[in-house]
């Protein structure tokens, strides 16, 4: 019987090379179903959409498939709630700018400190308007490992005040690999906001490190905004932003040309059209994912993916735990349902770049070191580490194999001893 993992690998020609792609949190491989759509669009329907002639009508139809696909991945109520942008950084910057008129000068923003894409736009907005910026920082869970960090809702609730307007946090950290219970956090924070008489509170969730591993559900989470990058979810280099219909109507100011009527659609946040071929290509992602299991649903695929990824994680985490306390895992060192196989660590006495070099020198393994744009987060680690050297990160997804993990372990063992 063909395994889930074998079925997945057929869709990625690059995997036939034998190279171990283990920098997936930086960018996954692109499924053939996406590349075929991009190829088809550019060669057959590459005209301006919106006209009445047949090829333009077909181009318009192809492009419309992108928001439908993104809405399905988010579990949004409508494709009208979807915004496309070149990157998640750009989408969140546009979101912050579009909210500027609806945020009062004395209100507050709460942020977490991971990837700068989910922090920088809010920091800049706070600076422009003189807002108070509060930081929801992680706590240590293991006294023997100062880097065993996790976000806890009990540390967020005291930051909520009568002036809180935006809470921006991650569904999963691209450094810690830990899954944040989004629904529970939003429920608790909304309840506290009601008690305090908050004028309006909205929640923005960074799903970039979450989307490749777990099913998103913005309706169940009760969030107002969410973002992920298709190029980390087996797709093209483009990002999708979810903006709740109510927020599109009442919170967001249009970034588009003044003569366009866009008050109730996501295009309100798109100052110009995205790459049409990429939007159409993105429609291949849910098609690929649903085809991996007999049930043909996203839910079934993400369940199967989580089971396989759990096995991959345990093999690598078990190896690293064997070197404690010399090797310090950043985040939860245990392999439970609350983490994904994005595994970061530091080695006492060895630079992260030297650890990664052991894999580079094989010529067949790709992992990485650095701050991974979580600059503030890495810079605030205690004990401090060289911000440019950062941490070692191995990021796996469902097309990786145990044999590939063992090859990484062999390379790491050569430098760890």
Q: What does pTM read for this prediction?
A: 0.96
Q: Across-strand partners of 205?
A: 169, 226
* CATH code of the domain covering residue 331: 3.90.1150.10
Contact yes or no for 329/343 (Cβ under 8 A): yes
Structure confidence at residue 339 (pLDDT) = 93
pLDDT confidence bin for 5, thresholds 50/70/90: confident
The answer to whether position 35 is within a domain reads: no
Residue 265: predicted pLDDT: 84
Mean pLDDT of 212-227: 98
In a domain, 321, yes or no: yes
What value does the mean pLDDT take over residues 62-88? Answer: 97
The first and second tokens of residue 206, run together, are 């960074």
Looking at the fold, whether 355 and 397 belong to one and the same domain comes out as yes
pLDDT of residue 95: 97
Structure token pair of residue 63: 């492009």
pLDDT, position 187 = 98
Indicate if 24 and 106 belong to the same structural domain: no
The share of the chain scoring above pLDDT 90, in percent, equals 91
Same domain, yes or no, for 154 and 194?
yes
208 in the same domain as 142: yes
pLDDT at residue 263 above 80?
Answer: no
Are the C-beta atoms of 210 and 228 separated by less than 8 Å? yes
Q: Considering its fold, how many domains does the chain have in total?
A: 2
What is the pLDDT at residue 409? 98
Residue whose C-alpha is closest to residue 121's, from 96, 84, 149: 96
- pLDDT value of position 332: 87
83 in a structural domain: yes
> Which is it for the CA torsion 209, 210, 212, 218, positive or negative?
negative
Task: Indicate the pLDDT class of residue 258, thresholds 50, 70 and 90.
Answer: confident
Instruction: Specify whether 330 is located in the same domain as 231.
Output: no
| 410 pLDDT above the threshold of 80 | yes
pLDDT of residue 69: 98
At residue 255 the predicted structure's pLDDT band, cuts being 50, 70 and 90, is: very high
> Residue 370: in which H helix or E strand, if any?
strand 368-370
Are 77 and 248 within 8 A, CB to CB? no
In the predicted structure, residue 50 carries a pLDDT above the cut 70? yes
Q: Determine, yes or no, domain membership for 132.
A: yes
Task: Give Rg (Cα) of the chain.
Answer: 22
Which of 61-70, 326-335, 336-345 has the highest average model confidence (pLDDT)?
61-70
Q: Is residue 36 part of a domain?
A: no
Torsion over CA: 34, 39, 42, 44 (sign)? negative
Domain co-membership, 115 together with 262? yes
Last residue of a domain, one of 246, 270, 288: 288
Q: Distance (Å, rounded) from C-alpha 402 to C-alpha 392?
A: 19
> What is the phi/psi pair of residue 370, to 5°?
135, -160
pLDDT at 1: 38
Residue 335 banded pLDDT, cuts 50, 70, 90: confident
**Is a pLDDT exceeding 80 seen at residue 156?**
yes
Same domain, 351 and 411: yes
Mean pLDDT value of segment 263-269 = 85
Residue with tokens 């895992």: 329
Question: Is the pLDDT at 2 greater than 70, yes or no?
Answer: no
Provide the residue count of the chain. 417
The model's confidence at residue 113, banded by pLDDT at 50, 70 and 90, is confident
Query: Which of 239, 263, 288 finishes a domain?
Result: 288
Please tell me the predicted confidence (pLDDT) of residue 407. 98
CATH number (domain holding residue 96): 3.40.640.10
Per residue in 84-108, pLDDT (tens digit) is 999 999 999 999 999 999 999 999 9
For residue 38, being part of any structural domain is answered with: no
Of 288, 306, 339, the residue at which a domain comes to its end is: 288
Statement to judge: residues 273 and 363 lie in one domain = no
Q: How far apart are CA 276 and CA 56, in angstroms?
A: 12
The 10s digit of each residue's pLDDT in 368-405 is 999 999 999 999 999 999 999 999 999 999 999 999 99
Specify whether 188 is located in the same domain as 52. yes
Q: Are residues 225 and 81 in the same domain?
A: yes
311 and 221 part of one domain: no
Ramachandran bin of 90, using left for φ above 0, alpha for ψ from -120 to 50, beta for the remaining angles: alpha
Query: What is the domain range of residue 195?
Result: 44-288
State whether 140 and 271 are in the same domain.
yes
């Amino acid at each position: 019987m063909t395994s889930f993992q074998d079925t997945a690998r057929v869709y990625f020609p690059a995997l036939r090379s034998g190279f171990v792609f283990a920098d997936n949190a930086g960018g996954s491989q692109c499924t053939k179903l996406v590349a075929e759509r991009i190829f088809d669009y550019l060669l057959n329907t590459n005209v301006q959409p919106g006209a009445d002639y047949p090829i333009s009508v077909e181009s318009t139809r192809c492009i419309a498939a992108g928001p439908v696909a993104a809405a399905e991945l988010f579990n949004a109520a409508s494709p009208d709630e979807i915004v496309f942008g070149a990157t998640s950084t750009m989408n969140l910057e546009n979101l912050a700018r579009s909210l500027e008129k609806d945020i009062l000068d004395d209100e507050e923003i709460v942020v977490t400190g991971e990837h700068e894409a989910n922090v920088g736009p809010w920091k800049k907005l706070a600076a422009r308007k003189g807002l108070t910026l509060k930081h929801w920082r992680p706590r240590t869970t293991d006294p023997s490992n100062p880097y065993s960090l996790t976000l806890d809702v009990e540390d967020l609730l005291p930051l909520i005040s009568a002036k809180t307007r935006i809470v921006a946090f991650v569904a999963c950290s691209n450094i810690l690999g830990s899954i944040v219970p989004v629904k529970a956090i939003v429920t608790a924070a909304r309840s506290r906001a009601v008690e305090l008489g908050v004028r309006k509170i909205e929640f923005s969730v960074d799903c970039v490190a979450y989307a490749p591993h777990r099913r998103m559900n913005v309706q169940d989470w009760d969030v107002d905004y969410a973002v992920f990058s298709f190029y980390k979810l087996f797709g093209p280099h483009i990002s999708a932003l979810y903006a709740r219909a109510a927020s599109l109507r009442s919170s967001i100011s249009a970034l588009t040309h003044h003569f366009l009527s866009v008050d109730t659609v996501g295009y309100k946040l798109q100052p110009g059209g995205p790459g049409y071929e990429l939007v159409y290509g993105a429609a291949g992602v849910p098609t690929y994912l649903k085809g991996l299991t007999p049930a043909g649903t996203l839910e079934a695929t993400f369940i199967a993916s989580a089971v396989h990824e759990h096995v991959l994680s345990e093999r690598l985490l078990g190896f690293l735990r064997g070197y404690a306390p010399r090797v310090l895992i950043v985040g939860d060192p245990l392999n439970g349902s609350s983490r994904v196989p994005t595994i970061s660590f530091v080695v006492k006495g060895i630079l992260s770049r030297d650890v990664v070099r052991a894999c580079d020198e094989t010529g067949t393994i790709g992992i990485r070191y650095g701050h991974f744009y979580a600059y503030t987060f890495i810079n605030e680690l205690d004990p401090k580490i060289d911000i440019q050297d950062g941490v070692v990160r191995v990021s796996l997804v469902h097309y990786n194999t145990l044999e590939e993990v063992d090859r990484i372990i062999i390379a790491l063992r050569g430098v760890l001893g």
